[in-house]
Amino acid sequence: MYEEPGGGMNMLEICNLTKKYDKEKGIFDLSYSFEEGKIYALVGPNGAGKTTLIQMISGISEPMKGQIRLDDQDTLLRKSKSQIGYALELTGNNTKQTVLQFLRMVCDIKFGGEHKEDIMSFLTDFELEDDKDTRLSECSLGMKKKVGIIASFIGFPKLILLDEPTNGVDTTGLIVLKKYIESAREHNCIVIISSHVLDFVDSVKDEIIFLKKGHLVVGNKATTEEQYRALFM
């Protein structure tokens, strides 16, 4: 497996992560290690803590206890944030920008202006090239979701976080999304996909992790549907 010059394998490590909302809601003492070049599916019902975990891994939300380290650096540090691809919901002030302006801003903030030359290729693949000058406020839910996905993949950062990426995305978009997930694997990225669409995650995952009431359950050799039924139904 590929190793970076002078260092070890690209790793994401979560240690004793906790964030409570009440006695039953939140993330509770969660630990796990994620390896480069692998696609991880994070599965659980609504309220299981998937989005909470994704937001903490991204560095936009702080845990009450525990650590999250990417290549042995805290993900709350600015240097780490440039290595994480995660798109927030496109609401608020961002909606005043056009699609192209927003993606250029992402390149400026994360990569000092690099990778802008890749934007049009992404837009073409996701059939958004004719919408590049459309304000985000005028985009449909599916269009905004595609723009967020593009923002996550630009530059193929070490860690790519996809929170319910299939919501509102059409069939063509899903096919392209699978293509970019495979490209991320080839770039030795760590990809974590939070989703409740079992067929989709089954088609792309290397490993599956279930969240049940804020606790992590590692998948086994049974089918994803069989495991889901046993855990949640």
pTM of the model: 0.91
Q: How far apart are alpha carbons 233 and 229 in whole angstroms?
A: 5
Strands 11-20 and 26-35: what pairing? Answer: antiparallel
Tracing tokens 């046993």 back to the chain, one arrives at 230
**126 has pLDDT over 70:** yes
Task: Spell out the alpha helix ranges (H) of 115-197.
Answer: 119-125, 141-153, 171-186
Q: How confident is the model at residue 4 (pLDDT cuts 50, 70, 90)?
A: very low
* Percent of the chain surpassing pLDDT 90: 71
Are the CB atoms for 207 and 38 separated by under 8 Å? yes
Six-digit token pair at 116? Answer: 């802008």
Give 21-40 pLDDT, tens digit per residue: 877 789 999 999 999 999 99
| pLDDT given for residue 8 in this prediction | 52
Which of 222, 226, 225, 211 has the alpha carbon at shortest distance from 40? Answer: 211
C-alpha dihedral, 166 to 170 to 119 to 137, nearest 10°: -90
Sequence length of the chain is 233
User: Does the pLDDT at position 5 exceed 60?
Assistant: no
Which CATH number is associated with domain 1-83+177-233?
Answer: 3.40.50.300
Percent pLDDT > 70 in the chain is 94
Query: Taking a C-beta distance cutoff of 8 angstroms, is the pair 35, 190 a contact?
Result: yes
pLDDT per residue over 63-89, tens digit each?
999 999 999 888 887 778 889 999 777
Report pLDDT for 182: 97
Could you tell me the pLDDT band of residue 92, with boundaries at 50, 70 and 90?
low
The residue extents of the domains of the chain are 1-83+177-233, 89-156
In the predicted model, what is the mean pLDDT of the chain? 90
Half-sphere exposure (Cβ direction) of 51: Cα atoms closer than 13 Å: 10
What does the pLDDT look like over 164-213, one tens digit per residue? 999 999 999 999 999 999 999 999 999 999 998 899 999 999 999 999 98
Q: To which H or E segment does residue 105 belong?
A: helix 99-111
**Amino acid 1: pLDDT:** 33
